[in-house]
Amino acid sequence: MDLDDKWGLDHGAWSVIKHLYPKADILVVQMSIDYKQNPQYHYELAQQIKSLRQKGVLIIGSGNMVHNLGMVAWKRLDENFGFDWTIEANDKMKKFILDRNHQALINFRSQGKAFDLAIPSPEHFLPLIYALALQEKNEEVQLFNDKAVAGSLTMTSVKIG
C-alpha cells in the first residue's frame, strides 16, 4: 500500500476534521476502506492499528450508522425526523454499542429489515466497526449528536475513551 498525497481528503474526513482543527495544523492520514471485504476483516484490521492510540495518534471513524440516501425525505431536511425503521436500527445499534456487543454490529446483515434499510451499502457504516475495534476493555463510550435527519439518516456520534 502506498501513500497518495495528490487526491486530497474524502468528504468524510475533511468535513469532520475542519471543525476539530480549523487551522488545519495537524497531519492527517486517511485510510481507504475496501468495502468488498467483510466486516470481520475490518474489525481485525482496526485492531492491528490499536497501538497507535498509545502513541498519541487520534483515530476518527467518520460515517453514519443509518445512511440511506435513496430514501431521504428531501422535504424534511431541516427536521429531526426518522422513519420507523431508522429509529429502530439506530436504537438497536446504540444498545449494541453501549453493551459492547461488537459482534452483533459486525454481523449487521443478520439484524433484520431495519438494518438492511439503514445500511444499503457498508462504506458509511464500516468506520463504526473500526472505532469499536479500538475500544479497550476499561474505556467508556459516550453517545452524542443523537438525532435522525431527513427520515433515513442519523447523525449519532460515538466517543470512546
Give 10-60 pLDDT, tens digit per residue. 767 777 788 888 998 888 888 888 888 999 999 999 999 999 988 998 888
Q: What is the pLDDT of residues 95-142, one digit of tens each?
A: 999 999 999 999 999 999 999 999 999 989 999 999 999 999 999 999
Q: Could you give all domains of the chain from N- to C-terminal order, each with its CATH number?
A: 11-160 (3.40.830.10)
**Cell numbers representing residue 30 in the block:** 486517511
- Quick check: helix, strand or coil at residue 74? helix
SS3 content of the chain, % helix, strand, coil (to 5): 45, 10, 45
Provide the 8-state DSSP code for 70: G
Question: Letter for the amino acid at 26?
Answer: I
Tell me the whole-structure pTM to 2 decimals: 0.88
pLDDT at position 102: 97
Q: Which residues, 6+ apart, have CB-to-CB distance to 154 below 8 Å? A: 64, 65, 66, 67, 82, 86, 90, 146, 147, 148
Asked whether 128 and 63 are in contact (CB, 8 A), the reply is yes
pLDDT at position 101: 97
pLDDT at position 4: 66
Question: Letter for the amino acid at 46?
Answer: A
